[in-house]
Amino acid sequence: MRKQHLLPMKLINALCIALLIGCTTKIFAQPKLVFTPLITNLNKPIAIRHAADASGRMFICEQGGLIKIYKNGALQSRPFLDLRSVVESGQEYPGLYSIAFAPDYATSRYFFVYYVTKDNFTVIARYRTSKRDPDSAVLASGVTLLSINGRGTGGAHTGDMHFGKDGYLYISFNDGSFYANSTKFAQDGQSLLGKILRLNVTLETAPYYTVPPDNPYVNNPAVKSEIWAFGIRNAWRWSFDRVNNFMWIADVGADKWEEVNVRTAGQQPAGPNFGWPCYEGNARFDTSGCRTKKNYVFPVFQYKHETATSAEVITGGYVYRGTAFPDLYGYYVCADYTTGNGWSVFRDESGTITNYRQKGLPTGIVDFGEDESGELYACSLSDGTVYRISTKTPAIIAAAGKPSQ
């Protein structure tokens, strides 16, 4: 009788183990991204943001200097703000780049814009929305926080900015290099080029910001105290994960590699150095005067240019935290401006990265945005379109850990 029960008990034990594993392992699939036109006939749309004020509005920046509002399913005919008188828009790169709304925007009505002037200065400025009309900003309210001279560097002047959950404004600045050339600004502590800054922008009088006391270099006379991170080439699009505050930083390469860096909340050491121009991705680039490799933070994801003469440009996106497409939840979505390739990048709890490439997406994707609910959008500078991002239901293809929370 005992032997008759031996095999069934083994099967029962095996089943219990299998069920236990199944309870702790997430089965997931490769999301199939779908880009559906939402707004068309825009004039070089370059950024999409929301104000987190429960209005449901999306704000769309056009490179030439107009900021427009998409509200209640329609693009408003009257611009929110017109900066065409100060923004340089006659070249490939300069123009209006980004907008960020203060965490207390619903009450303070303050927001910040990032643009390049006609005389080639990169400017971070603060404006205020009209008290009487929430769909109109007051041009005369503008004040300048930062103005960086870009003349003589020979390269593009691009960047991005977002508020962290700590209430501070994080700003990325291009290093001023041009294509495959490099500058040493990204490793120069006395230059703001090639850096990410961290500022407290609540000051009501000039200079309209202070340096947070816990910035990593406040006690280092060799480094400007505004600096939060070194070694950036062109992080023109990056974002915070709204759930865990992880920082996903896409950095455009010079010659062969495009990369994405991840900075987890509270990760040490403070004041990270992402390596440019010593390294491009994981590869050496110009190591003259550089420190040993252990002093730099390397990307979690990178991709190589398809040919020696191709000009790939990564456009960073967001970790999807919406509810409409569960198969995309926890994935970081990014794309290449030139090729029309896109990626869904998954980071599990252990830090392991899995990425899926998808071809045939729209070219010219210059920014991703999310609405107040966490749904994703993208805009193309090439075709003047804002796209809504969705997914097709895929087949299950892999098993891995849960998305990082």
Residue 269 is part of a domain; what is its CATH number?
Answer: 2.120.10.30
Residue 183 forms part of a structural domain: yes
Can you tell me the distance from the alpha carbon of 330 to that of 314, in angstroms, rounded to the nearest whole number?
20
Rounded CA-CA distance 72/242 in Å is 24
Cα dihedral sign, 217-213-267-48: negative
Domain count, the chain: 1
Q: Report the percent of the chain where pLDDT is more than 70.
A: 86
Burial per residue of 173-185, b for 16 or more beta-carbon CB atoms within 10 angstroms, e otherwise: bbbbbeeeebbbb
pTM for the structure as a whole: 0.89
Domain-located, residue 401: no
pLDDT tens digits, one per residue of 321-370: 999 999 999 999 999 999 999 999 999 999 999 999 999 999 999 999 99
pLDDT (tens digit per residue) in 144-157: 999 998 755 555 57
* pLDDT tier at 268, thresholds 50, 70, 90: low
Q: Does residue 28 form part of some domain?
A: no
* Three-class SS state of 172: strand
With the CA atoms of 116, 297, 100 and 125 taken in that order, what torsion angle do they form, in degrees rounded to the nearest 10? -40
CA distance 54 to 51: 8
Q: Which residue has the tokens 């729209």?
A: 362
pLDDT at 308 over 80: no
pLDDT bracket for residue 311 (50, 70, 90)? confident
Q: Domain of 282?
A: 42-316
pLDDT at 183: 72
CA torsion 76→80→82→87, rounded to 10°? -110
Flag whether 303 is in a domain: yes
Dihedral of alpha carbons 190, 193, 194, 200, sign? positive
What's the rounded Cα separation, in Å, for the pair 347 and 355? 9
Lowest average pLDDT, out of 29-33, 203-207, 306-310, goes to 306-310
| Amino acid identity, position 319 | V
Domain-embedded: residue 11: no
Tell me, yes or no, whether 207 lies in a domain.
Answer: yes
Q: For residue 129, is it within any domain?
A: yes
How confident is the model over 125-151, as a mean pLDDT?
A: 95
Nearest in space to 301 (alpha carbons), one of 268, 339, 331: 331
Is 269 inside any structural domain?
yes
Q: Which of 51-60, 134-143, 302-311 has the lowest mean pLDDT?
A: 302-311
Q: How far is CA 349 from CA 4, 105, 344, 400, in A?
A: 43, 33, 17, 10
User: pLDDT digit string (tens) for 377-397?
Assistant: 999 999 999 999 999 964 443
